[in-house]
Structure 1
Amino acid sequence: MAVFDRTIDTRHGSVRISDTMTGAAPLVMIHGSGSSRHVFARQLQSHLSRNWRLIAIDLPGHGESSDARDPQSTYTVTGLADCIGEVAARLGLHRFPVFGWSLGGHVAVEMAGSGKGISGLMLCGTPPVSNGLIGMLRGFSPSFDILLASKQSFTSRDVERFQSLCFGGTTNSSFQDAIARSDGRLRAIFSRTMLRGQGIDQRRTVEQADIPIALVNGSRDPFVKLSYLSGLNIQLLFEGKAHVMEGVGHAPFWENPESFNSLLERFLQTVVAHEAKTVPADMRDRNALPKKSVL
């Protein structure tokens, strides 16, 4: 399946995306800190692209997107959610599910709680936490390594360690390049504002949401407290449980794409079925691609 790349200019900066451009329904994919849209290559190049329009986005300060024009505003959970919402609007998306990984999952929850037309959430490596330090401590495993997520300047050793934490035993020079390229100001600003409780209460948002929500994590995730996820009371929790993929870490969609993609497709089918029951047909049809290519 062909994948088309383009750049969209937003008030936050220039944002690079990959878009399969075809499929019955869209899925927006948001990567984590220090990564890029290319981390979703094993979804973009899979059977999923035959049935779904897959859209992967480079966050500001990452990949081929520009650094933020106003870092203090954009590099927050609310700023990044606003940026992705602007990209979605430019693509003509009105109601769509989001697959968010790690930091990208927090951005996705913020979008869902801010009325940006989110029809479903798949969260991977993302504990939806309550505002402030106590909420963060409940959802994340305490360790010195987690401090890397808030460190502005990385040494070469930090880059290697962060790749190891995010991708387990995977050694991939492109992942290291993406980490080294990323704007470290985002790590510092994003972490600081999350600790201060900026944005919505993410735990309350997912527990009160009326859309399907999937929680998918690796059994070896070094950051997420899996026991915290099992204590969430999510109304429309996908298949009634928080999914744990055995033998993989923080990026199960990369480490075991076959199993992950199967889960993702079932989740997307669940979202479509839920939309058919709860959303008027004219609202669902507004995601149709324009006759003239946007490329």
Structure 2
Amino acid sequence: MQELTLTMKYATVACRLSDSSGPSVLLIHGNSSCKEVFKHQFASPLAEKYRLIGFDLPGHGESSNAFDPTNAYTVPGFADLACKLIEELNANPVVVFGWSLGGHIGLEMTTRPNEVRGLMISGTAPMGHSVKDFADGMYWDSPHMQLTSKKEFTPEEVERYARHTCGVNAPFEPFLRDAVARADGRFRETFVSDYLAGRGSDHRTVAETLTIPFAIVNGADEPFVRNDYIASLPYRGLWERKVHLMPGVGHAPFWEAPEAFNGILERFVDDVVSG
């Protein structure tokens, strides 16, 4: 396992890489989380078969806060950083797994040529830019959903957000809470308003028209995004022609049911590489 710190355009970025020389797989965490949320993937045989790459987004984990918050704390800004990161690590084109916000970053990355060879998302609703699009794709009025764009959290909100994002019935570790408390609240305030303002790609259109391998793996008990909405979209090339729903799982399948999830991810990456 390698731990790296890279000084990049938007931030000083903390990275974790497995020691494999196999195909590269970039793991992108969600809102107010950190790269350690993928500990069950790095501790699995996946880390021997593939070159797993995890990193803390600017304003998260061990990365610095953004040097330029207005541009860095946006989906296009995060995607730009991720593309430059994989270029720096000689990992492009890469297979991407994006969780929640990370899925939006992955979708945005696919609009840049020759960076992504396959994309899997989880807990992400591919949406347009309007308030109606948000309401169609997510449980926008739920109390925990409202926290996604709130700048300052109370200690109770930190606890609640950490537990809801990683599964209220899943094993809980203190670093999940610490990651939420550490996150730069300016990021939460900026990225939602920026997306609603129309910056970046329309992710519904991107998801529906992707020609690279594209997989969706969600928890059947997803509390943030609407599985019925996600299943209703007319995707051009959805992997295995279905949205994969994991029973008894919420927003974070890779954390809540890692063994089952890892098997799906391995099958997907193998299909991408062999295709």
Scaled by the length of structure 2, the TM-score of the pair is 0.96
1:1-295 alignment runs, 5 A limit: 3-115=1-113, 117-142=115-140, 143-167=142-166, 168-169=168-169, 170-274=171-275
Quote the RMSD (CA, aligned, Å): 1.1
Structure 1 position 234, deviation (Å): 1.8
User: 1:145 Cα deviation (Å)?
Assistant: 2.0
**CA offsets 1:189-239 (integer angstroms, 9 cap, x no match):** 001112222100111111111101110111111101000111122222111
Give the unaligned 5+ runs of structure 2: none
**Secondary structure in structure 1 of the residue aligned to 2:120:** strand
The letter for the 2-side match of 1:252 is P
Q: In 1, Cα distance between the equivalents of 2:273 and 2:115?
A: 14
1:67-86 CA-partner distances (Å, limit 9, x unpaired): 00010110001111111111
> Cα distance, 1:186 vs. partner?
0.5
SS in 2 for 1:55: strand
The alpha-carbon deviation at position 132 of structure 1 amounts to 2.0
Aligned to 1:293: none
Q: Is the 8 A contact 1:19 1:55 kept in 2?
A: yes
Q: Which runs of 4+ in 1 moved over 6 A?
A: none
The sequence identity of aligned pairs, in percent, is 40
Q: Secondary structure at the match of 2:165?
A: helix
Provide the secondary structure at the position in 2 that maps to 1:113. coil
Count of aligned residue pairs for this structure pair: 272
User: Contact 2:33–2:183 at 8 Å: present in 1 too?
Assistant: yes
Structure 2 contact 86–94 (Cα < 8 Å) conserved: no
How far the C-alpha of 1:130 sits from its partner, in A, is 1.5
- Contact kept, 8 Å, 1:133 with 1:196, in 2: the verdict is no
CA distance in 2, matches of 1:83, 1:244: 30
Structure 1 Cα separation of the partners of residues 151 and 129 of structure 2: 22
1:136 Cα shift? 1.3
**Letter of the aligned partner of 2:156 in structure 1?**
R
Deviations 1:112-134, CA, capped at 9 Å, x for gaps: 12335111111010011112212
Deviation at 1:57, TM superposition (A): 0.9
Task: Kindly provide the CA deviation profile for residues 90-148 of structure 1, in whole angstroms up to 9, marking residues without a partner as x.
Answer: 10122111000011110110111233511111101001111221211111123132110
**Can you give the 5+ residue segments of structure 1 that lack an aligned partner in the other structure?**
275-295
